Amino acid sequence: MNRFLLLISLVFSFACGKTNNPQPAPDEGNEPPAPTIELPKLASTTLLSVSTTKATLKSKVENTGGASITERGICWAIHNTPTVNDSKARPNSVSGSGEFEVELTALEGGKTYYAKSFASNSKGRAYGPVFEFKTDSYEDAKMAVTSVLFYKLNSMEASSKIESTGGANVLEAGVCISHNQNPTINDTKVIASKIENESFKVDVKNLELGKSYFIRSYVTTVKGTFYGSQGSFQTYNKGKITVNYHNQSNIPADVFARLKAMADHGVRLLEEHTSIVKTVTIEYNTGVATADASLSGWMRWGSNVSYQKAGTFLHEFAHTIGAGTSSYWTNTLIKNGIYTGTNANLALRKATNDPSAQLKGDNQHFWPYGINGAHEDTGRDSDYVITCLIIEGFKRDGVPIN
């Protein structure tokens, strides 16, 4: 009995003494601490080159702050606290040591700017020290002389060239004209709508007839307005054409009626669109197959009715002023079948709205709009006017007229 109780007592003692001891938790303090990310650090900015409108600056990320650089560059402004919210630019390449160069563009000449390098990582964005620099000052712009070509009595084309912008952006260019010397943009000015290779052309219209003008080209840059040398030109009054008839009493009435209607029509157009003063004499000669004329102003018509029209009158009138009847025409104005005078060619181009139009000719005639035969006579005033404008161009290009 006693042994039984002892056994039970021992078993109970062991059961009561048993404990559930948990495994010790890992020591968290033994893990390495996470790295601390800092903002990048940047070196001072230096100036590599500068002009009126550009500057190249250099800087360096000296310390990435323990994280990858996601953005870097240079920002600038005209105030001394620039940020990326002002103007900024990124480098095209970065050296292995962290150096980078940035080109600043669209600057203004003679102005002080403030710049800072910047760089960003996962921590944020940092800036380098403020760097101050000044762009080069602009020089005065220079203009070429102005050339003038007339294509109507009261309309001309003026052309010029910007020889130098002085390093500044061009805001406006054109010509200014006045009856007084040294015209400025406060007088009449015509602004060029297009500038190509620093050259431009403008149309000056509605000029007063029979007046003297002075003209200068100009260009306006951010530095100011600059003028070319002064030129001058003269507008002409409308022409006066006098027509006489040789042996008028011997001209059949119906023929005279046609010849007079033809001449009146042609004279009206010539006096409206040319400045030519000329006296011509019309002879009716049945021995003439069509019509002909000489520089002296003598014009002959035959009995062919199809040539007794205004178109033929204009054609023959061109002969009376030297087209095909003067040495100047054959030796100077016509070269290898091409008419080389500038005013008449411009008149053709402006009238037809074809910038590539070119007058051609030989020792006697010109074309197009030369009405070289009754088959070319459209009878339209619109075509006759172009012929008149070309004839006025002949005068301005130097045909002898008388």
Same domain, 264 and 351: yes
Same domain, 284 and 318: yes
Domain contains 47:
yes
Please, which residues have CB within 8 angstroms of residue 213's CB and are 6 or more apart in sequence? Answer: 177, 178, 179, 207, 232, 233, 234, 235
Q: Are 348 and 361 in contact (CB under 8 A)?
A: no
Handedness of CA 183, 185, 189, 195 (dihedral sign): positive
Q: Are 111 and 52 in contact (CB under 8 A)?
A: no
Same domain, 195 and 248: no
Domain that holds residue 77: 41-134
CATH number for 228 = 2.60.40.10
Q: What predicted TM-score, i.e. pTM, was given to this entire model?
A: 0.75
289: exposed, middle or buried (Cβ count in 10 Å: 0-12, 13-18, 19+): exposed
296-340 per-position pLDDT tens digit: 999 999 999 999 999 999 999 999 999 999 999 999 999 999 999
> Total domain count for the chain?
3
Same domain, 388 and 285: yes
pLDDT at 341 over 70: yes
Same domain, 367 and 323: yes
- Name the domain boundary from 185, 201, 234: 234
Same domain, 226 and 355: no
pLDDT at 239 over 70: yes
pLDDT at site 28: 54
Domain contains 323:
yes
Same domain, 193 and 70: no
Domain contains 63:
yes
